[in-house]
Amino acid sequence: MGELQAWFRTDADCLDYLAWLRWPAGFACADCGHDGAWRRGDGRVRCSGCGNRTSVTAGTIFDRTRTPLTVWFTACWLFATGKDGISALSLKRTLEIGSYQTAWATLHRLRSVLVRPGRDRLTGVVEVDETYIGGDEPGLAGGRARGKKVLTGIAVEVRESTGLGRCRMLPLADASAETLHLFVTNHVEPSATVITDGWQGYSGLEKLGYVHDRRSQRAARARGEDPGELLLAVHRVASLAKRWLLGTHQGSVEPAHLASYLNEFVFRLNRRGSRRRGMVFYRVLELAVAHDPVRYQDLVATQRPRAVPPTPPQARGHPPSLERPPANRPWRTEAQN
């Protein structure tokens, strides 16, 4: 945190870092390919070849943002380096962001950059299962809570030495063979060994090029074994995900947004061994400048953010910059100086 504050004291510092992330080999014009440009302090860039104007943040998730970059960077730092991330309510309180919607949208924009297009599929030995996730509300017995659960596909690499390997989680429309086969082919490399339970929806994986290790729960029970132990890796991931949703987000995740929370969970799980949290921060920002703008309308298209305490009128608008001038020892009065 100290290093973050030292490096990114002003919004201009943040802008310079984004420019470096976006053009690591220096500016290159998207129109004419020219590699020289005039850069202004406010992030605007003018190609010295064709005169085309652009900006450091144009075409990234920071495009036309009215949230100061110092706020973005601090939010990203809390998001990336916290072991379990941060909820919108905590972010709003920590950064004194006036509106819950702004905090909520900031975190959702960060979440939306986490899935790299064309990422590798899982390899080796992979457990695949589907389970219901979300909708858990402590103190609510069944009924209302049950209706909000979402069927979720889980695929986890099983490694002899280290236990859990990489993981993928995605809401599924249903548990039909068509849906499950698509889930497997999208996320698991052919020739991998796929371990599933005895559900008929998984029949036919051999024909798709997988080695299918089918473990019947009924057969396990007949042998006197615990059927819950057949797919240890996916069950562990599912319970970690449920605990994370209940812990960090108090279980208050709308079904329409579950996919994006699962992306965040998987991103964290896949990087849990990373001791250098600063690298995770770097990685998120690197993905953010490579990601198209995400409009607020797109975030809420399916569902409004959950009801929150009404915002007092004077607290509306956009968060103030966290930019700080060099300290001038405010505890000393003029006379003492």
Site residues, Zn ion (CB under 5 A): 29, 31-32, 34, 47, 49-50, 52
Residue 255 burial (CB count, 10 A): 16
Question: Alpha-carbon torsion 252, 111, 77, 95, what sign?
Answer: negative
Token code pair at residue 28: 């290159």
Cα separation, 242 vs 24, whole angstroms: 39
Name which of 54 and 185 has its Cβ closer to Zn ion: 54
Shortest reach from residue 28's CB to Zn ion, in Å: 9
The full DSSP string for 182-241 is: HHHHHHB-TTSEEEEES-GGGTTTGGGT-EEEEE-HHHHHHTT--GGGTTHHHHHHHHHH
What is the C-alpha separation between 42 and 62, in angstroms, rounded? 13
Identify which of residues 50 and 301 has a Cβ nearer to Zn ion in the complex.
50
Q: Dmax of the chain from CA atoms?
A: 87
Q: How far is the CB of 19 from Zn ion (least distance, A)?
A: 16
* Nearest to Zn ion of 31, 174 (CB atom): 31
C-alpha 160 chain-centroid distance: 28
Q: CB 41 → Zn ion: shortest distance, Å?
A: 21
Provide the minimum distance between the beta carbon of 51 and Zn ion in the complex, in angstroms, as a whole number. 7
Q: Which residue number, 23 or 132, has a Cβ lying nearer to Zn ion?
A: 23
Q: How far is the CB of 214 from Zn ion (least distance, A)?
A: 58
32 vs 301, which CB is nearer to Zn ion? 32
Q: How far is the CB of 288 from Zn ion (least distance, A)?
A: 24
Task: Report how far residue 60's alpha carbon sits from residue 81's, in angstroms, rounded to the nearest whole number.
Answer: 22
Of 33 and 204, which has the nearer Cβ to Zn ion? Answer: 33
Pairwise CA distance, residues 175 & 201, whole Å? 7
